[in-house]
Amino acid sequence: MRVAVVGHVEWIEFARVAHVPAPGEIVHALESWEEPAGGGAVAAVQLARLAGECLFLTALGDDELGHRSKGELEKLGVRVEAAWRPEPQRRAFVHVDGAAERTITVIGDRLGPRGDDPLPWDQLDGVDAVYFTAGDAAAVSAARRARTMVATSRAMDALAAAGAPIDALVSSARDAGERYRPGEIQPPPSLVFRTEGARGGSFEHADGRGGRWEGARLPGPAVDAYGAGDCFAACLTYGLGAGQPPEGAAGQAARCGAACVTGRGPYEGQLRSWPPGEGAS
């Protein structure tokens, strides 16, 4: 399969703590590390591991962290094509507590690619599946060149402005900032997936038909929840691009998300092959 991501990167500083500090409290990190992540980057690495390669069209700050982000993602197997911005690279600080939950503080504006950036948009022609996390309306239209387009509800403004058909929208049933309400995008997405964390979630076709998938059991101890949702979305994109039905793709994607939780940071636990069960080719 040929896969791609159009989206954003955040340079993340992680700190493992016993608990997230209360107001005024000082806590000591048990360990710390840094790496490029964010929804676009995490999905691109996961897709590269499933498909063998992934094209990632993004925008990065033209500074030390932006260039480090590109280099580190390429070491992880992603082909990165970046538009360079004068703004600082977006960063974030993540606490990972004793229950493996992550708490995120974001610093700076999200940098997404624009349709008029000198990026190889034509290479999206014939791509089996693309996942869209950030960019302007023209970038949405360029991403639509792929045979299957999946997008996150975090990019709602650009999706609504573009008016391009979306094969699947990944939203949240619980997070108010990631909910999709009918009518927010025209034409309506062919499929809407509403995640419910470890419980699984539901999906709905544009004609009102729908169903559910169940959450997946963790294949090991919980270590770090950061990136689990992005791995879910990447694997969902892969499954739908391979022609799986929505319940099958979501069920397999849940296993990808669960695997991510068992690793340190978003990449250590990622699956490197499609989960056993209903196949994708």
Please tell me the predicted confidence (pLDDT) of residue 177. 82
Please tell me the predicted confidence (pLDDT) of residue 67. 98
Tell me the pLDDT of the chain (281 aa) as tens digits: 999 999 999 999 999 999 999 999 999 999 999 999 999 999 999 999 999 999 999 999 999 999 999 999 999 999 999 999 999 999 999 999 999 999 999 999 999 999 999 999 999 998 999 999 999 999 999 999 999 999 999 999 999 999 999 999 999 998 888 899 999 999 999 999 999 999 999 999 999 999 999 999 999 999 999 999 999 999 999 999 999 999 999 999 999 999 999 999 999 999 999 876 544 54
d(CA 36, CA 94): 12
Contact between 149 and 130 under an 8 Å Cβ cutoff? The reply is yes
Predicted TM-score (pTM) above 0.85: yes
b (16+ CB within 10 A) / e for 99-121: ebebeeeeeeebbbbbbebebeb
Inside any domain, residue 275: no
Inside any domain, residue 232: yes
Q: Strand 91-96's sheet: what is its strand order?
A: 31-37, 10-16, 91-96, 102-107
Query: Which amino acid belongs to residue 21?
Result: P
Inside any domain, residue 279: no
Please tell me the predicted confidence (pLDDT) of residue 280. 53
Distances (CA, A) of 53 to 2, 44, 78, 232, 247: 8, 9, 6, 18, 25
How many residues are there in the chain? 281
**99 Cα distance to chain centroid:** 22
Inside any domain, residue 236: yes
Please tell me the predicted confidence (pLDDT) of residue 174. 86
Using CB atoms within 10 Å of the CB of residue 27, give its burial: 0 to 12 exposed, 13 to 18 middle, 19+ buried.
Answer: middle
Q: Where are the alpha helices (DSSP H) in 31-178?
A: 38-51, 64-75, 137-143, 156-162
Using CB atoms within 10 Å of the CB of residue 38, give its burial: 0 to 12 exposed, 13 to 18 middle, 19+ buried.
Answer: buried
Inside any domain, residue 268: no
Tokens of 69: 């982000």
Tokens of 178: 């990631």
Report which DSSP code applies to 275: P
Inside any domain, residue 230: yes
d(CA 24, CA 14): 20
CATH number assigned to the domain comprising residue 37: 3.40.1190.20
Residue-number span of the structural domain to which 94 is assigned: 3-21+29-261
Please tell me the predicted confidence (pLDDT) of residue 277. 58
Percent of the chain residues past pLDDT 70, beyond the cut: 98
* Domain total in the chain: 1
Inside any domain, residue 270: no
Inside any domain, residue 151: yes
Please tell me the predicted confidence (pLDDT) of residue 281. 45
